Structure 1
Amino acid sequence: MYRALSQFERSIEETKMLSDLYDYVTKTLTVPMTFKDILRSQIVYSVSAFDKLIHDLVRIGMVQIFIGLRQPTQKYLSENISLDLYQKIVSTTIPPKEFLFEQEIFKKLKTVAYQDPSKIADGLSYIWNETHKWQKIASAMSMNEDIVKTTLKTICDRRNKIVHESDVDPFSGVKYDIEKVESELAVNFLLLCGKTISKLVS
């Protein structure tokens, strides 16, 4: 799980560097256009990095359970696998059984978006036997649970507007405004939230 966290932190650091790019182009280029799409990309990239982190933690944790390195959760035990996969796991030695299992988990979960708090909690249930997950996460972040969940929803909602609606108000046809402070707050929040979740489930 350390590798997953390290990759997440690198992705966030790269995303933060876009602030320097934004500062540079706004100060040095005098053209009749805005460069705020750079800020929008920060939100998109940071949400993607966070989503990938949760996927990685869940997948790695499930493999650890499979090979006996951590205790299984009820959700893990209730997960169905195909008879085809079962037969392969029983009969194979090369590649290792855990490799086949991990590939199956990857295929099964790759279409799930770990952005909404309820989806994240559900995904973490595969590997984390904590009943009040967001209460625990928020406490470790020194924040209120409702504020943490609302902030996450707000950031992901803005990401979805950018990705699926070009960040355009459907009534006015004008792009929603965005400021540097907004994108930086989003990136820093997701970094803290991701690091906190990683620490709690590791």
Structure 2
Amino acid sequence: MPARRFADFENEIKRARDLVGIGQSLSSITNGLVGGEDHFRSALVHAVAALDAYVHGVVLDRAIDILMGRLHVAASSKVGLSFAAIGKIMTAGPPGSAAVELSARTYVAERLGLETYQRPDDIGSALAMVGVPKIWSTAFPVDAYTRKTALGVIVSRRNRIVHQCDLDPLPGGTTTPITSSDALDAVGIIESIVKEVDIHC
């Protein structure tokens, strides 16, 4: 059952590709005097953010469906809500009402906001928590390790960009090069992963 969040993900992936296009255009119209590298970095970061937002959305939607009794899963699922939050959800209105669902969505979203779902194992654990077990071996029965490794490399680069200005860790502090192809490859890998994962969500 494809997730309701896939269309939003596709919109964000398009924005990531548009950032690459802006960088390419900028470099082209200035004859290379102004490079588009920072736009390429932004595209890579945005693609990872799109993945993270997609997984958060799927986990939130499925968690609410579980709480509201619309989805039954065999997994022992936990999101770590406090007793106070559970009490507020239960007293928000009559069982099954829109008020209860809105309250549940608010508290679960707040709790999930403490997590990041970018690294392969974190994504796998998050989806298993809401009844989608073993997503990597299920979605990629032949090349799960390769897909997980590729995503891990992209997420590591994303972290270097946002936490270390993409500086080379070796002495000298030069910025690690990035091309439009590097960015488009990262965007494409993330999109292909989410397309396959979405089939099972």
Same fold (TM over 0.5): yes
Structure having the larger proportion of residues in helix: 1
| Structure 1 counterpart of 2:101, from 76, 80, 98 | 98
When the two chains are superposed, the root-mean-square deviation of aligned CA atoms in Å is: 1.9
Q: Where does structure 1 lack aligned partners over 5 or more consecutive residues?
A: none
Q: Which amino acid aligns with 1:191?
A: E
Residue 46 of structure 1 is matched in structure 2 by 47
Residue 69 of structure 2 is matched in structure 1 by 68
Deviant stretches of 4+, over 6 Å = none
Q: Which amino acid aligns with 2:177?
A: D
State the alpha-carbon separation in 2 of the partners of residues 73 and 100 from structure 1: 24
TM-score computed with the length of structure 1 as normaliser: 0.88
Instruction: Tell me if the contact between 1:73 and 1:127 (Cα under 8 Å) persists in the aligned partners.
Output: no
Q: Specify whether residues 67 and 197 from structure 1 end up closer, same or farther in structure 2 by C-alpha distance, changes over 3 A only.
A: same
Q: Which amino acid aligns with 1:163?
A: V
Instruction: Tell me if the contact between 1:51 and 1:115 (Cα under 8 Å) persists in the aligned partners.
Output: yes
Residue 128 of structure 1 is matched in structure 2 by 131
Cα-to-partner distance string for 1:99-128 (whole Å, 9 max, x where unaligned): 111111111111211111111111111222
Q: Which amino acid aligns with 2:91?
A: S
The percentage of counterpart residues that share the same residue type is 23
**In structure 1, the residue corresponding to 2:140 is in which secondary structure?**
helix
Cα-to-partner distance string for 1:3-53 (whole Å, 9 max, x where unaligned): 421111001011111232122111111464422111111100000010000
Matched ranges for 1:20-31 at <5 A: 20-30=21-31
Residue 174 of structure 1 is matched in structure 2 by 174
State the alpha-carbon separation in 1 of the partners of residues 180 and 27 from structure 2: 12
Q: Where does structure 2 lack aligned partners over 5 or more consecutive residues?
A: none
Q: Which amino acid aligns with 2:191?
A: L
State the alpha-carbon separation in 2 of the partners of residues 134 and 88 from structure 1: 36
State the alpha-carbon separation in 1 of the partners of residues 79 and 181 from structure 2: 42
State the alpha-carbon separation in 2 of the partners of residues 21 and 79 from structure 1: 40
